[in-house]
Structure 1
Amino acid sequence: MKIDLEIMDLFQELEEIIENAPLKGLTRKSISLDKEEVLNIISDIKSLMPEEVNQAIWINRERQRIITEAKTEAEKIIAQANQEAQIKAKEGEEFEENLKQQFDDIVESNEVVERAKERASQIINKAESYAVEIREGSLQYAEDVISCVEQNLIETLEIVKRNKEELREG
């Protein structure tokens, strides 16, 4: 209670300084203040603030840092997943090109050609399925990481809310 009264007295002192400050300029909306005097009062107010306020400020800064790191990590994971999906797609295309070349080299008889076409089609379908699986897996992994980050942020926010409630009750 004493700290609260001291803080209120300092705010009152600031108000008096501002109200009694000489006006300057033609519009009479500007005032002239003693910068050092005002900064000293603000410093005194800060020193009287309860430790819980400083802890809440630290928690808020820490939460923001965690959010920023999580976003950066999520962006890296997504970029890596996209890069891997592109590599797998390129490998699939190269595989398909290789199969086409082999197919062209085997053209000896209709029966061989028909079997080769059927086999090539199966392999192409398998390669396309594999590429889709890789792409979907990469996206699922990125989503899982982001969900984990989201859960961490929710838990951090709950801690901040509890601290805020404790400040109000305390």
Structure 2
Amino acid sequence: MKIIALLNELESILHEGTHVPFSSRVMVNTEEALEIIQEIMHSLPDEIKQAQWIKEERKKILLEAQKESEKILNDAESKIRSMVDENQITQSAYLEAQEIRKKAEEISREIRKSTNDYADSILKNLQMQIKELSETIEDNRKQLKGK
């Protein structure tokens, strides 16, 4: 395999390099080492390049999925808040409707009572007038009989 041969060549360049006194460093021909590294890069199988691309795409997909899940969660929370608010509005409207109905029934009772009192007053006056008229008629009849 070409890559192994190039790696062996790079290794021998490092071993054959000049050692810097009093250190573990080695001086090598940089151009030669870089050329070998470039050849190794070009010789890498497509599967390794694809694996790198897949790794990067996976990262992008995970980030997009994370963003999408956060958006879905935020939308769900917003919907829940909206539903809670709607429920509270509905309950408030229901309670207000009950109060309005109670007031309407109370007003209706008062109107009915006032109407009954008024009708009773008229009937009482009418009854008194009829009684007076009846007494007048009775007196008139007695006067007619007495003559």
The bucket for the TM-score relative to the shorter chain is 0.5 to 0.7
Alignment pair present for 1:102 and 2:97:
yes
**SS in structure 1 of the partner of residue 102 of structure 2:** coil
1:14 corresponds to: 10
Q: Percent identity?
A: 28
- The AA in structure 1 aligned to 2:95 is K
**SS in structure 1 of the partner of residue 54 of structure 2:** helix
Q: 1:77 & 1:21 partners in 2: Cα distance?
A: 62
1:159 corresponds to: none
- The AA in structure 2 aligned to 1:13 is E
Q: 1:35 Cα deviation (Å)?
A: 4.9
Distance 1:94 1:9, change over 3 A: same
Contiguous gaps of at least 5 residues in structure 1: 111-170
* Paired positions, count: 104
Q: 1:34 Cα deviation (Å)?
A: 5.4
Distance 1:80 1:32, change over 3 A: farther
Q: 1:80 & 1:21 partners in 2: Cα distance?
A: 66
1:126 corresponds to: none
Q: 2:24 & 2:78 partners in 1: Cα distance?
A: 58
Q: 1:86 Cα deviation (Å)?
A: 1.0
1:70 corresponds to: 65
Distance 1:92 1:12, change over 3 A: same
Q: 1:36 Cα deviation (Å)?
A: 4.5
Structure with the larger RCO, 1 or 2 (CA within 8 Å, 6+ apart): 1
Work out which of the two has the higher radius of gyration on C-alpha atoms and give 1 or 2. 2
1:60 corresponds to: 55
Distance 1:12 1:97, change over 3 A: same
Q: 1:60 Cα deviation (Å)?
A: 2.8
Residue pairs, 1:84-99, within 5 angstroms: 84-99=79-94
Q: 1:47 Cα deviation (Å)?
A: 0.8
